């Protein structure tokens, strides 16, 4: 019996096929199982299994006959933004009451702020400065808010601009309100951040703004991170997802911080 060596010579590994498929989808926006079967010299069955795998990893959208790219805009940020959505929305709703018509506001890039941006009623007029891509994008849907985007080098994981440009832009501003998320807040250490760049930017935001409002979920309270942003007395209001009368806040209240 003749052994067909030729056939065996070139068979791609599964992983290689996957790479190939992803690359092709990226480039052509569409792949057909039949084409792939021919191109990769495996049965359509195998292609289908490949497609199913990639699809279950959310890397492609499998459809009858082939696959298409997954549409969605952002991935990692988007995932985070859907985390603890319930809490974030609670906070956002409370924070809404602090916005008055005609104000100039600066917002940090936190996912809670994104929630806030989503629910600002369309009859509110305001000017919002931000350095977060998703927040700016969200606000473009709003009919009357004026958006000023603060440019600079993009920090991909958080989809915000950072760096000197941002710092220098912000230090030239004067705003009424400043909404910012935080990674840690505590009476003695004040507000702290794990990221040096971010801590610096937040410092600028605070000195640029008349009132400082910190939005944070319960689990950030009493956490301390590496870099200091501001002592507690610089914070005007903390908005959280728990009851403002909770005893957790006693110390904060003594320092004159409002809890919402």
Residues contributing to the site for DNA (CB under 7 A): 11-14, 17, 32-34, 41-46, 48-50, 52, 62-66
Q: Which of 45, 146, 246, 254 is the binder for a second copy (CB under 8 A)?
A: 146
In the range 36-65, which residues lie near a second copy by CB under 8 A?
A: 61, 63-65
> Which does residue 68 bind out of a second copy, DNA, none, counting CB within 5 to 8 angstroms by kind?
a second copy
Helix axes of 33-40 and 14-28: crossing angle, nearest 10 degrees:
130
> Which does residue 255 bind out of DNA, a second copy, none, counting CB within 5 to 8 angstroms by kind?
none
Q: Which tokens in the block code for residue 123?
A: 């009859």
Question: Measured between alpha carbons, how far is 98 from 211 in angstroms, rounded to an integer?
Answer: 10
Q: Which of 151, 194, 231, 256 is the binder for a second copy (CB under 8 A)?
A: 151
Q: Kindly state whether residue 1 participates in binding a second copy, applying the rule CB under 8 A.
A: no
> Which does residue 133 bind out of DNA, a second copy, none, counting CB within 5 to 8 angstroms by kind?
a second copy
Q: Which of 126, 133, 185, 212 is the binder for a second copy (CB under 8 A)?
A: 133
Residues in a beta bridge with 31: 67
> Which does residue 48 bind out of a second copy, DNA, none, counting CB within 5 to 8 angstroms by kind?
DNA
Q: Kindly state whether residue 28 participates in binding a second copy, applying the rule CB under 8 A.
A: yes
Q: Which tokens in the block code for residue 55?
A: 């699809």
Indicate the helix (H) or strand (E) that contains 230. Answer: strand 227-230
Q: With contact defined as beta carbons under 8 Å apart, do 62 and 51 qualify?
A: yes
- For 84: left if phi > 0, alpha if psi spans -120 to 50, otherwise beta; the answer is left
Query: Interior CA angle at 181 toward 232 and 186, to 5°?
Result: 30
Question: Measured between alpha carbons, how far is 13 from 4 in angstroms, rounded to an integer?
Answer: 19
- Nearest distance from C-beta of residue 71 to DNA, angstroms: 17
Q: With contact defined as beta carbons under 8 Å apart, do 173 and 207 qualify?
A: no
For the chain, first and last CA: distance in Å?
A: 82
- Nearest distance from C-beta of residue 151 to a second copy, angstroms: 3
Question: Measured between alpha carbons, how far is 78 from 48 in angstroms, rounded to an integer?
Answer: 28
Q: Kindly state whether residue 136 participates in binding a second copy, applying the rule CB under 8 A.
A: yes
Q: Kindly state whether residue 27 participates in binding a second copy, applying the rule CB under 8 A.
A: yes
Question: Measured between alpha carbons, how far is 25 from 235 in angstroms, rounded to an integer?
Answer: 49
Q: Kindly state whether residue 13 participates in binding a second copy, applying the rule CB under 8 A.
A: yes
- Nearer Cβ to DNA (55/222): 55
Report the interface residues with a second copy, using CB under 8 A. 13-16, 23, 26-30, 61, 63-66, 68-69, 73-75, 77, 85, 89, 93, 118-119, 121, 131, 133-134, 136-141, 146-154, 156, 159, 161, 165, 169
């Amino acid at each position: 019996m003749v052994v067909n060596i030729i056939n065996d010579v070139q068979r791609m590994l599964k992983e290689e096929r996957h790479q190939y498929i992803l690359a092709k989808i990226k480039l052509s926006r569409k792949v057909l199982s039949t084409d792939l079967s021919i191109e990769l010299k495996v049965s359509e069955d195998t292609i289908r299994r490949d497609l199913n795998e990639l699809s279950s990893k959310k890397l492609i959208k499998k459809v009858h006959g082939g696959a298409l790219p997954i549409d969605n805009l952002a991935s990692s940020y988007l995932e985070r933004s859907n985390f603890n959505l319930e809490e974030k929305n609670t906070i956002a709703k409370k924070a809404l009451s602090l916005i008055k018509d005609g104000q100039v506001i600066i917002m940090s890039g936190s996912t809670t702020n994104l929630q806030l941006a989503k629910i600002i009623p369309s009859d509110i007029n305001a000017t919002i400065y931000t350095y977060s891509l998703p927040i700016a994008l969200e606000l473009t849907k709003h009919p009357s808010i004026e958006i000023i985007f603060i440019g600079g080098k993009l920090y991909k994981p958080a989809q915000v601009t950072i760096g000197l440009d941002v710092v220098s832009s912000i230090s030239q501003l004067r705003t009424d309100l400043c909404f910012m998320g935080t990674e840690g807040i505590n009476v003695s250490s004040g507000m702290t951040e794990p990221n040096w760049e971010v801590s610096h930017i937040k410092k600028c935001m605070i000195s640029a703004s008349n009132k400082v409002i910190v939005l944070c979920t319960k689990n950030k309270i009493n956490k301390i991170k590496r870099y200091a942003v501001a002592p507690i007395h610089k914070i005007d209001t903390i908005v959280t997802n728990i009851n403002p009368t909770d005893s957790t806040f006693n110390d904060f209240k003594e320092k004159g911080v409002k809890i919402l």
